[in-house]
Amino acid sequence: MDNLTHSLVGALIGQTGLKRKTGLNIPALIIGANLPDVDAACFFWLEGVEHLGFRRGITHGPPAWLLLPLVLAGMLWGFDRWQAKRGKRPEGRVPVHFGWLYLLGFIACLTHPALDWLNVYGIRLLEPFSSQWFYGDTLFIIDVWLWGLMGFATWWSLRQEKRGETWRKTGRQALALALVYIGVNGAISTYVASSAQAANPQATQVIASPLPVTSWDREVLLKVDYGYWAHVESSARQDLARPNKISVSPCRLSTATAGANSQLDAFLFWSRALIAERAEDGSVILRDARFYDPRARDRFSLALPDVECEPLAPPSP
């Protein structure tokens, strides 16, 4: 999910009452909720699409769940001591407890892979023990309804706290409602994917991809025939049994091309719905049906000018 969603989850956890356990609680919760995205630093040393095969891996797996909060707690505890030595420590800050800093950071850090699992991009939850991708297909990467719910609840709870009113209940109720919302969307995805599979028994793979804003709708992607992907734009408005073939000139990418370069290896490792498209000059462009959008093609595509691709037979009617 996006970093605003992660931050709001961290803030709401604090508004359940846990923030009273130690000083520097909010930094521990909000930074902890975003900490696994430290792997975004890979853009400094990786080129092209190599980041696709690196992100949501090692910093999102079990060892990171334990180590990243430990580093965060140590830095916050050290910062508090540094401020105290310089006489700059705020008088109103409650004592900083290392154990609670670690626990809060750990809880917040766990919410990050849980949320990242919810969308179609995927996450390698067991890295480095396994490089398998896991997909929740439940929410779009940016969910405005979660923004509204958690943003308003955080603001209202803080306002209640300032007024001396009961504020912990608001944070707890908002998190519970968010879980219900996520559960309902998960059920929608499961139902739509099952219905699409039943309506298209020839499909070898089905992905129910949540749409932005209208989170109750799904774009259904189906792998039909050999190497062709088709889609139904909205499960609520179109017959699942009549998918539209994605408008490309698909071809078969030779397996001999694997290992040819790091860009190709990274893209093949990351891709879930691979499309090998023949360009006008005869070269190959790799895309992924999940992100087959003109606005996203440059980011989620790979041009292979020196690779040939055999045309596929037309799909059966």
Q: Are strands 274-278 and 284-288 parallel, antiparallel or unpaired?
A: antiparallel
* Percent of the chain predicted with pLDDT > 70: 85
Largest CA distance in the chain: 77
Q: What tokens does 302 get?
A: 């790979």
Q: Which DSSP category does 209 fall into? A: E
Span 260-307, pLDDT tens digits: 578 888 888 998 988 887 777 767 888 888 887 655 556 788 888 776
In whole angstroms, give the CA distance from residue 306 to residue 257: 10
Q: Which amino acid is at 244?
A: N
Q: Does the pLDDT at position 310 exceed 90?
A: no
User: Comparing 133 with 196, which gets the higher pLDDT?
Assistant: 133
Both structure tokens of 309? 């691709």
Residues 6+ apart with CB under 8 A from 28: 22, 72, 73, 76, 101, 104, 105, 108
Check: CB of residue 257 under 8 Å from CB of residue 263.
no
Phi/psi at 132 (5° precision): -70, 140
Kindly compute the dihedral angle of the four CA atoms of residues 156, 161, 165, 169, in this order, to the nearest 10 degrees: 60
Per residue in 46-100, pLDDT (tens digit) is: 888 899 989 999 999 999 999 999 999 999 999 999 999 999 989 888 899 999 9
